[in-house]
Amino acid sequence: MSEQPSKISADSKYYGGAVKENYGKAIGSEKMEAEGRENKIEGETEYEAAKMAGKAEGIKDETTGKSKKTTGDAIDDTKMKAEGKATELKGQAERNIKG
C-alpha cells in the first residue's frame, strides 16, 4: 500500500538529498552525490503530488458544499444551506492554500 503524498515528507527527502549530494561532492563520492540528487528529485515529485492532492480535496469540498447549499435552498433548510456554504468556502480555501 502506498502512502499519501505529503509536503513534509517531500521537504525531508529534498533537503536530505541536498545534504547528501553536497557531502558526496565534498568527499568526492559520485555515488553519494547521485543518490542525493535522486532523493531531491523524489522530494520534488512528492511535493507536486501533495499539491495536486490538496487541490483535488478542495475541489471535492467546494462541489459538495455547493450541492448541499443548493439542496438547502430547494427544501428551505437554513441550517443545510449554511453548512453547504461553509463547506464550499472551506474547499475554496483548501484549493488556494494547498496549491
Q: Are 61 and 31 in contact (CB under 8 A)?
A: no
Provide the pLDDT confidence category of residue 98 given band limits of 50, 70 and 90: low
Task: Return the C-alpha cell found at 12.
Answer: 525531508
Question: Above 70 in pLDDT, residue 65?
Answer: yes
Q: What is the pLDDT of residue 74?
A: 93
Give tens-digit pLDDT for 78-94: 999 999 999 999 998 88
Give tens-digit pLDDT for 6-53: 889 999 999 999 999 999 999 999 999 999 999 999 999 999 999 888
Chain mean position to CA 75 = 36
95/10 Cα distance (integer angstroms): 19
Provide the pLDDT confidence category of residue 2 given band limits of 50, 70 and 90: low
Continuous H helices in the chain: 7-27, 30-74, 78-98
Task: Return the C-alpha cell found at 43.
Answer: 522530494
Domain boundary assignment for the chain: 7-98
* Top-confidence residue, 96 or 28: 28
Q: What is the pLDDT of residue 1?
A: 41
